[in-house]
Structure 1
Amino acid sequence: MTGESSNRRILVHPDGPILAQAAAARLVTKLVDVLAERDEAHLVLTGGTIGIGMLAALADLPLRQAVDWSRVHLWWGDERFLPGGDPERNDTQARDALLRLLPLEPAHVHAMPATDGPDGPDAEAAAERYAAELARCAPAGADAPAFDVLLLGMGPDGHIASLFPEHPGTRETGPSAIAVHNSPKPPPNRISLTFRVIQAAREVWVIASGAEKAKAAGLALAAGTDQTVIPAAGAHGTEATLWLLDRAGAAQLES
């Protein structure tokens, strides 16, 4: 099943495992195409069950060798502000699922700071450090790369990255990266990209599966939904927006 609205496409797969495999194959093809046009590619990773499942599917895909991974910069859309190597961190899960297998350039892996990093438990300073890293790799006149693909998971409440419904971060228009406190989902302290940076990505892909995501997906894709109420409604790229769902997650979409 495929739906389109302006530059938005909705692709529905039979179930979560097939969704993860299809998204992995799609990502390889996209990266190969980007690297044929540009010297480097900038990819933003996401966590969550289906996000990490997609990375695990990519690890099992021989076609991943078609990508020159030394020219790919990896970023994260958000992170749990925990010690480095903590199993709950998105970057730890990504390394375990896929990154350890790839011939990456270490300097191109831009993990968000941890509580045992140079800023210690100061989440604001850690977010500023990540914003500085984004700016360092940005083109002239910008404070962040124009990401070629920015992957996002979505929670049952419609949150993306660590932008939660009606939480202060959804109204942030200044920095590229922010500290998030009192998160409704543990742990309470996080770092997140802001809507401004997410919406400046060339392509944004929202990957969601399961019946518990169906209501949020339906609301996010309905016309006129406020991104401060359902943050996933603000997930869109400058060139393309893909919603990659399974049948259960797409159950409440409008015809």
Structure 2
Amino acid sequence: MAAPTVIILESETAVSTKLCDLVIEKANSAIERDGRFTLGLSGGSMAKFLCNGLPSRKTAWSKWQVFFCDERHVPYLDPECTYTIYKSKLVDNGGPLPSENLHPINPELPVEDAAKAYKEEIHAMFGGDNLPRFHLLLLGMGPDGHTCSLFPGHPLLQLSSEIIAPISDSPKPPPKRVTMTFPMINNCECAIFASCGGGKAEIVKKVLESDGGEPLPAARVRPTQGELIWILDKAAASQLKAQSHI
């Protein structure tokens, strides 16, 4: 389990560019090696970075298989739906990604059934019942240190075998969501966080320079046989011990 690689850049624009560079690099490498690229997406600022930067990039888009690290259990037309944000930029109006390669949850099912169906879809994509190994997961972090829909102190943090779980009591609305869990997150080949702004500085320090105690969910992302990368702007990195991260 390698220590995280921390990349500190001048601006949010530089973070977005570096993130997209890394995604394309990982995609092209995976396609050359495995014939496809399996990717997990998150919402929030990650969606903004990717939707602005990826569509113009050169890659074999037909070889991408794109899932969601977590998703709100809301209709596709709801502005809270992460899938619709990506679909509008990467698929619709001549976007580069084939629509069948972007895999949403089914919000018409009860949240427990939506999670079960999504788990089955992921297993079908990877084959068999072995623990799926994504090439890349792109993760966000909230001000409380949550990632995906894995919140501090929540029972979902204790799951040891399920790869996808429903949550009906999210402390951040909307309450119903479907999320990847740590067994699958930490089985990925690479996980990347991207955080910008001084408002993230304190929680970035807590996650990357924890001094003991119960680790926050974002700090528990440590791929067991993979790579962990944090891309930060100077404001988000402002409370880190500079000599150990730059």
Q: How does the TM-score come out when normalised to structure 2? A: 0.90
* AA in 2 matched with 1:71: K
Which residue is 2:18 aligned to?
22
Q: What is the SS of the residue equivalent to 1:196?
A: helix
The answer to whether the 8 Å contact 2:207/2:215 transfers is no
CA RMSD between the two structures: 1.9
Change (3 A) 1:104 1:97: closer
Structure of greater relative contact order (alpha carbons < 8 Å, 6+ residues apart) = 2
SS at 1:245 equivalent: strand
Partner of 1:31: 27
Secondary structure of residue in 1 paired with 2:237: coil
Number of matched residues?
Answer: 240
Q: Name 1:81's counterpart in structure 2.
A: 73
The answer to whether 1:219 aligns with 2:206 is yes
Q: 1:241 aligns with which of 228, 231, 242?
A: 228
Task: Please state if 1:124 is matched with 2:112.
Answer: yes
Structure 1 unaligned blocks of 5 or more = none
Q: Distance in 2 between matches of 1:138 and 1:186?
A: 31
Give 1:213 deviation, angstroms. 1.4
2:47 is matched with which residue? 52
Deviations 1:22-54 (CA, angstroms, capped at 9, x unpaired): 2112211221122111111101111002x0121
Percent identity for Structure 1 against Structure 2: 28
Aligned to 1:137, the other structure's residue is in SS state helix
Indicate whether 1:201 and 2:201 are aligned. no
Mark the CA change 1:243 to 1:200 in structure 2 (over 3 Å): closer, same or farther: same
Distance 1:246 1:57 in 2: 17
Describe the shift of the 1:151–1:59 C-alpha distance in structure 2 as closer, same or farther (beyond 3 A): closer
Aligned equivalents of 1:13 and 1:57: distance in 2?
A: 18
Q: 2:166 is paired with a residue of what secondary structure?
A: strand
Query: Does the Cα contact within 8 Å between 1:21 and 1:57 map onto a contact in 2?
Result: no
Residue 160 of structure 2 is matched in structure 1 by 173
For the pair 1:109 / 2:97, whether they are aligned, the reply is no
Instruction: Tell me the amino acid that sits aligned with residue 55 of structure 1.
Output: L
Q: Which 10-residue stretch deviates more, 23-32 or 216-225?
A: 216-225
Q: 1:69 & 1:225 partners in 2: Cα distance? A: 42
CA distance in 1, matches of 2:187, 2:141: 19
User: In the alignment, which of 221, 230, 235 is matched to residue 216 of structure 2?
Assistant: 230
**Residue-by-residue CA offset, 1:158-202 (whole Å, 9 max, x unaligned):** 110010111121122231111112211111111100011100100
Distance 1:221 1:156, change over 3 A: same
- Return the TM-score normalized by structure 1: 0.87
Query: Structure 2 unaligned runs (5+)?
Result: none
Partner residue, 2:61 = 69
* Conserved 8 A contact 1:19-1:246: yes
Change (3 A) 1:243 1:225: farther
